[in-house]
Structure 1
Amino acid sequence: MAEQLEQVESMRRQLIGDVAHELRTPLTAIKGTAEALMDGVLPASTETYQQIHSEAGRLSRLVDDLQELSRVESRSTQLDIHPVDSAS
């Protein structure tokens, strides 16, 4: 039982590290692009704004996934678990 709890805690720490990395990546891209715009290194073009918008969307999806995970862990969301035929 103690070994199983240790494994769960280890997995939780790994998840937190992975989440931090996944959040940091788009934040770094947004921050870098904004700084480049402010410094005049990047042009204020549609493509530049689309890049920022894309990274913000990525952040939004990550936050949505974390909220869903939180609801599942707190059992406020019912999971519909059933076998699926992977051959079809």
Structure 2
Amino acid sequence: MKRSLSSFARGACAALALPAIAMLSSCSSSAPLFLSDGRPTTLVQCPAGSDSCSQQASAACGGAFDVVRQSRDNGTLSLIYACRAK
């Protein structure tokens, strides 16, 4: 009986671990939290074609910022930026 219980427990742990690993691997394509120089990144979304994302980034940074990544999807602009050092 011990063998069947321990093999069941191992199977249950493996079954729980697989979804957790899948969730973590799906995050690998997301933007980094920090750039290699240590600056944090921020994501803003706004309607494509508007100047709102740039305005939000400029206001949050108090001026200059660097665009890390930008994409358009279904009429929405996603902008990942990092504030420049002052």
TM-score interval for Structure 1 and Structure 2 normalised by the shorter chain: 0.3 to 0.5
With the length of structure 2 as denominator, give the TM-score of the two structures.
Answer: 0.39
Which structure has greater strand proportion? 2
User: Higher helix fraction: Structure 1 or Structure 2?
Assistant: 1
Bigger Rg over Cα? 2
Per the normalisation by structure 1, the TM-score is: 0.38
